[in-house]
Amino acid sequence: MWLFLAFLSVPLIEIALFIQIGGAIGLWLTLGIVILTAVIGTFLVRTQGALAMNNLRQSFGTLSNPSEPLAHGAMILVSGALLLTPGFFTDAVGFALLVPGVRSAVFRYLKARIKVQTFDMGGQAQSRADFTHPRACQDPNIIDGEFEEVPRDPNAPPSGWPKH
């Protein structure tokens, strides 16, 4: 029901704001502001999105919980869609979602309302304590090792080991 109300009320709010602002400052200035907010919003979404991607990569690299960087990335994506939608109300909400403090507050609110029971990685529920090394594997048939390529002497005879 709340989704229906959002789809009904947001366009009505936008129409009312266009009428009020357009009547106060004129048509061309109103359209210029809408285009300017789309251009500025696109630039800000790109920079904030790059920061969010770096935070997500860092959380994957340290094997920490990626839910907050993922949520920030999703909110930045929604922000970009709102900023590209013509309107003053959607621009205000879109710019608000670009502020990291607002995103953190929204994340805390959503985190309090959503309960995650397990974290599945690789087909089995694991925690950070299950890993001794970031690339460690639990399969006993896999041997983790290191190698160093040694240059071969061009004058030496062939080794013969690859012959079957």
Note the pTM of the prediction, 2 decimals.
Answer: 0.65
Across 72-78, average pLDDT = 92
Tens digits of per-residue pLDDT, 10-21?
A: 999 999 999 999
* pLDDT classification of 114: cutoffs 50, 70, 90: confident
pLDDT of residue 4: 92
Across 107-115, average pLDDT = 88
- The residues, any chain, with a CB within 8 Å of residue 41's CB and separated by 6 or more, are 79, 80, 83, 84, 91, 94, 95, 98
Residue 143 reports pLDDT greater than 80: no
Residue 128 reports pLDDT greater than 90: no
Question: How far is it, in rounded angstroms, from Cα 15 to Cα 37?
Answer: 17
Compute the mean pLDDT over every residue in the chain, rounded to the nearest whole number. 83
* pLDDT classification of 89: cutoffs 50, 70, 90: very high
Residue 39 reports pLDDT greater than 80: yes
* Amino acid in the structure at residue 85: T
Per-residue CA distances from 83 to 49, 105, 151 (Å): 14, 20, 57
pLDDT of residue 137: 57
User: For the stretch 39-63, what's the b/e string if a residue is b when 16 or more beta carbons lie within 10 angstroms of its beta carbon?
Assistant: eebeebbeebbeebeebbeebeeee
User: Is 76 within 8 Å of 98 (Cβ atoms)?
Assistant: yes
* pLDDT classification of 92: cutoffs 50, 70, 90: very high
Residue 151 reports pLDDT greater than 60: yes
User: Is 116 within 8 Å of 67 (Cβ atoms)?
Assistant: yes
If one compares 162 and 27, the residue with the highest pLDDT of the two is 27
For residue 157, give the DSSP letter: P
